[in-house]
């Protein structure tokens, strides 16, 4: 047999008043119409069905009969409730084969309804460690506790002034209301007000839980958005790191070009010192010098290109830092940045490893440069054997000096540009330190929020303890309510016995009245017979009076004739 209760009713006011208490006492399922009820009951999950007679244009009786005709549903209990049915109608239906197990009337107190359905449906299984279920984890607030205390104090005062059941009133009982005696069982006892207030509070708690769930979902959505923004910031930080690495590489390349230019100038000075010894291989030297100048020109162009790229990347880095600052200010939840900071530190370690690799590459380049120096020294040794074209080479060297002076001016401009880029990098470093300071402040704010969260958790724990205490009070109140209901049932039985005695006395009086009415009818019949006899005597008297008048007329005529 099932353990659940199926309620078939579309009355919104009834559902609003009783749904919470029924769900608290039983495993309840609702159905607004008889459609599909038989299929649900055939699943075997339901112990009883609670049907409103007026559902879907008074189809409650038909649904009850259909359930009784179904052999698969022999073990299902049926309870009927109606706002219009009379006791006579219920008695007629109870005499049929498709009768119900329980008949109730609307309106009815929630506690009385639960008590009436308890023999038909097994109660909901409660966790002894958590008797209030999901309500324990709900943050109720001090306002709810104050309102609940006021609600508890109010009905207690009303209960002290309520009339006691079983005491006969001073006014006589009217005979017209005696046939309505069984309807007294559906009257709302005063204690049900207290229980109804508690049930309303439970309904409000459910509403607050749904609102909190919605706010939690919104907070999770904001958290996901903040994580997405943090990932975007991390990608931008990675791009900034790459740009800084490229800037460092460009700086190293410019330093290398400066070193090579200095070496070239040293080679030129060496050529000036050995110009007297240059001779046969002047053309070869010219070609080599032209190649060196061409290479130097290419290197200068590369330096200019690299400087331009460095400037663009520095500007891009500044823009990315500004964008990062804006995103950091727009970010609400800073908790994900702790993990991001760790990832940045790991990325920094990787960059340091890459820098060490670049340093090794630089060492290899320096080794190659040493080999180049060795080659140049060999060339210088070859140039020492050259003689003969000293004057022409001298003139060319003078031209080379002028070009070298021009190159020095260009290098000075490049150095000024590099200093400007260095200042920009210093500004970027200052900005980076400011961002790190802001990040530390944000972390401090996160710690403060964590402390606030811990404090709120402690407050929530206190509220949960108060809820448990209130649950204990509620159980005690329900026990008192059950005792009051038992007392009320005893008083109702006494009243019913008194009413039965009154009904017996009234039946006796009605029998006496019937006998008196029969005597009165017999007297009426005798009276009518006497009236008939009187009418006959009256007619006879009238006839005698007529005869007497005729005799008098005849006597007068006889006397007149006698006198004449």
Provide long-range contacts, Cβ within 8 A and 24+ apart, for 482-490. 482/115, 484/189, 484/191, 485/111, 485/112, 485/115, 485/189, 485/191, 487/165, 488/165, 488/189, 490/166
Burial call 129-164: b when 16+ CB within 10 Å, e when fewer: eeebeebbebebeeebeeebeebbeebeeeeeeeee
Residues in the chain: 564
**Residue 50, SS3 per DSSP:** strand
Q: Is residue 302 part of a domain?
A: no
Question: Which letter does DSSP use for residue 130 in this model?
Answer: B
User: One digit per residue, pLDDT tens: the chain, 564 residues?
Assistant: 678 999 999 999 999 999 999 998 999 999 999 999 999 999 989 999 999 999 988 899 999 999 999 988 988 999 999 999 999 999 999 998 889 999 999 999 999 999 999 999 988 765 555 545 544 444 444 444 555 555 555 444 444 444 333 333 333 333 333 344 333 344 445 456 667 777 787 888 878 778 877 887 887 787 777 777 767 777 776 666 666 667 677 777 777 777 877 777 787 777 777 665 655 666 776 777 777 778 777 777 877 787 787 777 777 778 777 777 776 666 545 555 556 666 776 777 777 787 777 778 777 767 876 776 777 677 667 666 666 666 666 777 777 777 777 777 878 777 777 787 778 788 888 888 888 888 888 888 888 888 888 888 889 888 888 888 888 888 889 888 988 889 888 888 888 888 888 888 899 999 999 899 998 889 989 888 888 888 888 888 989 989 989 999 889 888 888 886
The enclosing domain of 85 has a CATH number of 3.40.50.2300
E strands present in 83-234: 102-105
Domain count within the chain: 1
Q: How far apart are CA 389 and CA 400, in angstroms?
A: 16
Q: Which domain holds residue 29?
A: 1-123
pLDDT tens digit string along 133-183? Answer: 544 444 444 444 555 555 555 444 444 444 333 333 333 333 333 344 333
Pick from 410, 239, 411: nearest CA to 313 = 239
pLDDT score of 169: 39
pLDDT score of 119: 93
Q: Give the helix ranges, DSSP H, for 80-141.
A: 87-94, 110-117
29 bridge partner residues: 6
Q: How far apart are CA 52 and CA 59, in angstroms?
A: 9
pLDDT score of 5: 94
For the CA atoms of the chain, what is the radius of gyration? 57
Q: What's the half-sphere exposure (Cβ side, CA atoms, 13 Å) at 527?
A: 6
DSSP percent split of the chain into helix, strand, coil, nearest 5: 80, 5, 15
Phi first, then psi, for residue 175 (nearest 5°) are -70, -20
Terminal-to-terminal C-alpha distance of the chain: 126
Q: Is residue 255 part of a domain?
A: no
E strands present in 56-154: 77-82, 102-105
Handedness of CA 516, 522, 528, 533 (dihedral sign): negative
pLDDT tens digit string along 1-40? Answer: 678 999 999 999 999 999 999 998 999 999 999 999 999 9
Pick from 45, 74, 50, 44: nearest CA to 63 = 50
The residue to which tokens 């110009």 are assigned: 275
Q: Is residue 3 part of a domain?
A: yes
Phi first, then psi, for residue 333 (nearest 5°) are -95, 120
Cβ distance 217 to 324 under 8 Å?
A: no
**Residue 504, SS3 per DSSP:** helix
Q: How far apart are CA 484 and CA 21, in angstroms?
A: 18
Q: Is residue 19 part of a domain?
A: yes
Q: Is residue 30 part of a domain?
A: yes
Cβ distance 458 to 84 under 8 Å?
A: no
Q: How far apart are CA 100 and CA 539, in angstroms?
A: 71
pLDDT score of 168: 38
Burial call 262-291: b when 16+ CB within 10 Å, e when fewer: eebbebbebbeebbeebbebbeebeebbee
pLDDT score of 380: 65
Write the CA distances from 395 to 89, 281, 320, 390, 391, integer angstroms.
136, 16, 53, 9, 6
Which pTM was predicted?
0.29
What kind and span of H or E run contains 55?
Answer: helix 55-58
Q: Is residue 370 part of a domain?
A: no
Q: Is residue 195 part of a domain?
A: no
What is the residue-wise DSSP string for 15-40? HHHHHHHHHHHSEEEEESSSTTHHHH
Peptide bond connecting 107 to the previous residue in cis, omega within 30 degrees of 0: yes
Sheet holding 46-52, edge to edge: 27-31, 4-8, 46-52, 77-82, 102-105
Pick from 158, 81, 77, 185: nearest CA to 121 = 77
Q: Work out whether strand 4-8 and strand 27-31 pair parallel, antiparallel, or are unpaired.
A: parallel
Q: Is residue 454 part of a domain?
A: no
């Amino acid at each position: 047999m099932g353990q659940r209760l199926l309620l078939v009713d579309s009355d919104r006011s009834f559902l609003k008043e009783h749904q919470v208490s029924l769900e608290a006492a039983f495993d309840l399922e609702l159905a607004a119409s008889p459609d599909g009820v038989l299929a649900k009951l055939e699943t075997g999950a339901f112990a009883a069905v609670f049907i409103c007679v007026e559902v879907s244009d008074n189809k409650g009786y038909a649904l009850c009969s259909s359930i009784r005709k179904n052999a698969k549903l022999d073990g299902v209990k049926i309870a009927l409730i109606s706002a219009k049915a009379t006791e006579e109608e219920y008695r007629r239906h109870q005499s049929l084969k498709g009768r119900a197990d329980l008949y109730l009337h609307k309106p009815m107190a929630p506690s009385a309804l639960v008590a009436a359905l308890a023999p038909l449906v097994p109660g909901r299984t409660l966790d002894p460690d958590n008797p209030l279920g999901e309500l324990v984890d709900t943050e109720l607030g001090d306002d709810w506790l104050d309102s609940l205390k006021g609600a508890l104090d109010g009905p207690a005062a009303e209960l002290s002034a309520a009339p006691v059941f079983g005491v006969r009133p001073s006014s006589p009982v009217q005979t017209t209301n005696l046939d309505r005696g069984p309807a007294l069982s559906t009257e709302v006892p005063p204690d049900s007000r207290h229980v109804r207030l508690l049930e309303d509070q439970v309904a409000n708690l459910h509403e607050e839980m749904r609102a909190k769930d919605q706010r939690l979902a919104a907070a999770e959505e904001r958290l996901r958005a903040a994580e997405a923004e943090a990932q975007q910031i991390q990608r931008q930080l990675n791009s900034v790191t790459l740009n800084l690495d490229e800037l460092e590489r460009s700086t190293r390349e410019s330093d290398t070009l400066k070193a090579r230019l200095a070496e070239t100038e040293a080679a030129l000075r060496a050529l000036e010192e050995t110009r007297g010894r240059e001779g046969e291989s002047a053309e070869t030297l010219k070609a080599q010098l032209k190649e060196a100048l061409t290479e130097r020109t290419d290197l200068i162009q590369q330096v200019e290109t690299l400087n331009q790229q460095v400037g663009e990347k520095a500007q891009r880095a500044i823009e990315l830092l500004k964008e990062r600052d804006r995103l950091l200010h727009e970010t609400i939840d800073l908790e994900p940045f702790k993990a991001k900071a760790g990832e940045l530190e790991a990325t920094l370690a990787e960059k340091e490893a890459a820098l060490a690799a670049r340093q090794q590459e630089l060492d290899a380049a320096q080794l190659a440069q040493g080999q180049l120096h060795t080659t140049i020294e060999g060339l210088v040794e070859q140039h020492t054997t050259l003689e003969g074209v000293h004057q022409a080479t001298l003139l060319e060297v003078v031209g080379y000096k002028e070009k070298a002076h021009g190159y020095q001016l260009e290098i000075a401009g490049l150095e000024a540009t590099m200093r400007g880029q260095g200042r920009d990098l210093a500004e970027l470093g200052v900005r980076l330190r400011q961002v790190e300071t802001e990040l530390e402040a944000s972390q401090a704010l996160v710690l403060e929020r964590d402390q606030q969260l811990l404090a709120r958790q402690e407050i929530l724990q206190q509220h949960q303890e108060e809820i448990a205490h209130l649950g204990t009070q509620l159980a005690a109140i329900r026990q008192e309510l059950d005792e009051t209901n038992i007392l009320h049932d005893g008083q109702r039985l006494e009243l019913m016995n008194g009413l039965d005695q009154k009904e017996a006395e009234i039946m006796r009086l009605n029998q006496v009245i019937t006998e008196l009415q029969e005597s009165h009818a017999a007297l009426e019949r005798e009276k009518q017979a006497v009236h008939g006899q009187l009418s006959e005597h009256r007619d006879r008297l009238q006839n005698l009076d007529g005869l007497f008048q005729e005799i008098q007329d005849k006597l007068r005529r006889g006397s007149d004739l006698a006198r004449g």
